[in-house]
Each structure stands twice: as C-alpha cells, then as structure tokens.
Amino acid sequence: MAYGDQTEFKAGTKETIAKRANFRCIVPDCVTPTQGPGASPDQTASTGTACHIFSAAKNDPRGQGGLTPEELRSASNGVWACATHGRLIDTNEGAAFPASLLLSWKELQEERLRSERGGHQSTKGWIHRITVQKSVLFKPESGFHLGKATLLTGPALGKSAVLEWVAATLGDDLPSRWIQNGQKNIITVEVFFPTPLTLKILIESGGPKYFCNDLPGPEARNGIQIVHVREDVIRTLQKSMRDENRLEDHDLLAKALRIRSAEVRNLIPEIESNGTSWGKYLDFYDEPKLLFEDKEGEEHYSSTQTEVILRHGGIRGITFSGLSGSERMKVLLEFATALARARARHQPTLLLLDNQLSSFDDGNLKAMSEHLQLQPFQTIATRTDRLGDPDDPIWQEWACYEVRASSDAAEIIHRHQTPSHN
C-alpha cells in the first residue's frame, strides 16, 4: 500500500469530521452551506470536503507534525471546508493555510458550536481581520487577515499606528497624540468570540468613540486581553542602561509591560515551565545594593540595602545590565509572552510586538518565531526592514504583509498568498 493511501481519510472519518463541524466551513466568516437538497426530493447533496491539517503527503509545506500514518488519517487531523475553501487550502500544497492556523480555527469552530448548543458563554476567541476604513496614513479600507502570528514589515510608516489603533479598539489606552492632531481615523476589528462581532473605534479631536456591531457604547468591549510592547520600549531600555539612578530590573520590566513589579516577579514560574530553553535560566535575586565604584574599579556595596537583580544562569550568572542589547530584548519578549500566555488561559489574548524582532539575528529570530507559533494567543509583530524572501522558512507559518508607501497614502500588501475568506 502506498504511503498516501495509508494517510487518506476513510469514509467514516470524513463523516465524523463533517458532523463535528455541523457541516460548516472551517473558515470563520464563510457562510457557504455544504449540505443541501439533492437531485430528487429524497436525496441530499454535499459540496464540502475533508481537509488534512497536517499533510497527508510527506513533503508538503504544512508538514506532518511528527504524526504517525494512523494519526494523520484520524478525525483529529481533519477540518471540514466548503468546495471553494477546500481547494484553496490545498492550493500550493496548502502553504497559505499553515497547520497552526487550521488548528486555531478548528478549536474556535468547535467551541462556537458547543456555545450555540449549550447556551454557555465561551472564553475562546479569534481576531480575524483588521481594517483601516479611514485615515490620512492609509488608503481607504486597507486591511489584513490575521494568522496565529502576523508580520507587518516596511519603512517607518504607519505600522506602529496600526498596533496602537487595534489596541485601543480592544480596550487599551489610546496615545493622546491621535486625539490632539485633529485627524479622523476609523478602524474596525472583526472578531469571533466565538460568535462574530465587529468592533470599531472612531478617533477624532473630541476623543475616541466605540461601537460594537454598529451600536455605540461608552467604552471598548473588554473581551480580549492585550499585551502591547511599544516601540519606544527599546529606547527606554537603552537609556536605562546608561542612567546612574536607573530603575531596578523588575521595575524596568514592569514599566515596559505596564504591569506591577510584583506581577513581573510572579511570571518567573511561568517562564520556567513554558518559556524558551534560554529563558528558563532567568531569575530574580535580592542582592546588596551597589553604592559606587572607586577609581581602581572596585565595587562597594551596602550592608543594609538590597536591590532586585535579574540574572541569566543562576546566582553567579550574567546580570540584566550585563547582557547585550539583543539579549535584553530576548528577556523582554520572554516576560511579554509569559504574560500573554497567563492571560490567554482566561480570555482571548493578542500580543503586539512593535519592532522588537528587528533586534535579532536569523538564529534568534527563528527560535522566537517558532516559540510564538506554539502559544495559546495570537501575535502581530512589526519590523522596519523588508521581509526579504517570503519563502524563508522563518516565516512559513506566519501571515506576512508589507506596508508600502505610494503617492497619496500607504497600502498593505500581502507578501504570502494569504487565505481568501469570501
């Protein structure tokens, strides 16, 4: 028997996949029916198809996830799609629909069906599309669909703005400059919670106005958690390293993440359990406070005062201030992902990384990219450089877009063949 025959779905498995999806297409905003009347009154017709999450074929871009042939042909490795999306999922061997995206969609779909059937409130959610309807920075109706992880690249033009607007739409603080400049910006965020909602923010000189499914409200709907690492955090870290009266390490990270210092220290067990292999060697220590360094370079410490020091590699490891710039950025992202992971256990969570990935070489970038793909939250990251080769394995699982300047306003260009949803 050929290997492909061993991994194909059997008829009963296809039926199970279809029924678990209630014959609905896996793409969240697709409403095309896959089951209906047949040629005669006593017949039904199906136009849906069962698609593999991890590929049946060995060398397809989605890979096989280390699954056995039996696991590859099981219902747990399948999703149900309409005829149109079924073809798209398998176009170019499925490169536009990475396994992480299909798994997230399947989890959302099944939770949505449980919620509809049982009438209970769900904590699952998915941010599906972001649209800048009106702005002087972008062409009207510029937007993009999100994957499990989404990348925006390009020059310093509008990427930080998009992250700030999205965060504000979902309940984060809006920087005052967007209110003071007197320009009108309208942003919509389409989410599934797990039922579909369209959240909108209207930003103008009088302050932001919020809408949910076109109904105005006094504040943003607070259903999705945000962890937003702003671009200016990089400058803050660099400045702090040169400041004689700099904040203690846990206070500095707390300021960067906009949480309390005690919460930063409480993230250490989370990092030890679920962080990267590098991050698991981070820990805080209460140590005698450095008072001064004399002319001979000898350090003098207080016998009564202590300070909180973050070290990598144990009590005798390298201090946070002794790490390189890219290593300090790794520390920051280790804590940011730990915070997002902890919040995602209770509510849908979005991690926003504004240009922090630009600090990494290819090796560290690959490790962080893979780490983010394994998380229970979605990520949007920006980089100021160009993406380069869109087929680079580093970005294979990401939805990749480029912000390009034009004569009148910027536009958002798909760098990968991303999913078509309508």
For the record, the structure tokens of 202 come out as 């209207």
Backbone CA torsion sign across 279, 173, 101, 111:
positive
Q: What is the pLDDT of residue 417?
A: 44
The answer to whether residue 1 scores a pLDDT higher than 70 is no
Confidence of residue 121 (pLDDT cuts 50, 70, 90): low
**Which residue matches tokens 């350090």?**
299
Q: What is the pLDDT of residues 193-240, one digit of tens each?
A: 888 899 999 999 888 999 999 999 998 876 899 999 998 886 776 666
Q: What is the pLDDT of residues 279-289, one digit of tens each?
A: 999 999 999 88
User: Could you say which DSSP state residue 122 is in?
Assistant: P
Confidence of residue 367 (pLDDT cuts 50, 70, 90): very high
**How large a percentage of the chain has pLDDT more than 70?**
91
Burial class of 71 by CB neighbour count within 10 A (0 to 12, 13 to 18, 19+): middle
In whole angstroms, what is the distance from residue 300 CA to residue 293 CA?
6
In whole angstroms, what is the distance from residue 102 CA to residue 88 CA?
13
The answer to whether residue 418 scores a pLDDT higher than 60 is no
CA atoms lying within 13 Å on the CB side of residue 17: 26
In whole angstroms, what is the distance from residue 99 CA to residue 101 CA?
5
Q: What is the pLDDT of residue 396?
A: 80
In whole angstroms, what is the distance from residue 376 CA to residue 174 CA?
26
pTM for this prediction? 0.86
Q: What is the pLDDT of residues 314-339, one digit of tens each?
A: 999 999 989 998 899 999 999 999 99
Q: What is the pLDDT of residues 43-82, one digit of tens each?
A: 888 899 999 999 888 777 688 888 999 999 999 999 999 9
Confidence of residue 305 (pLDDT cuts 50, 70, 90): confident
Cβ neighbours of residue 156 under 8 Å, at least 6 residues apart? Answer: 384
Q: Please provide the average confidence, as pLDDT, over all residues in the chain.
A: 87
Cβ neighbours of residue 339 under 8 Å, at least 6 residues apart? Answer: 227, 257, 259, 263, 267
